[in-house]
Amino acid sequence: NASHSALLMLAFGLGTWPVLLATGLAAERSTALLRKRGVRMTGGLLVILFGLWTLPGPHQHWLMGH
């Protein structure tokens, strides 16, 4: 039925619109935040620190005892 399908599509559109709007607003704010030098430096340092932290992890074959 075409009218039933149209109503279903309208309901789907109305249900997803708030989430899409919120995602767009969050992306806009996070873009503005990521333009700050301190935030970028902190993120880069965290990536380096986590990389160094995982180096001696159990996934290294030389630490598995065989």
Check whether 64 has a pLDDT greater than 70. no
| pLDDT tens-digit map of 3-53 | 999 999 999 999 999 999 999 999 999 998 889 999 999 999 999 999 998
Q: Which spans in the chain are helix H?
A: 2-34, 37-54
Backbone angles phi, psi at 8, to 5 degrees: -65, -40
For 7, the 3-state DSSP assignment is helix
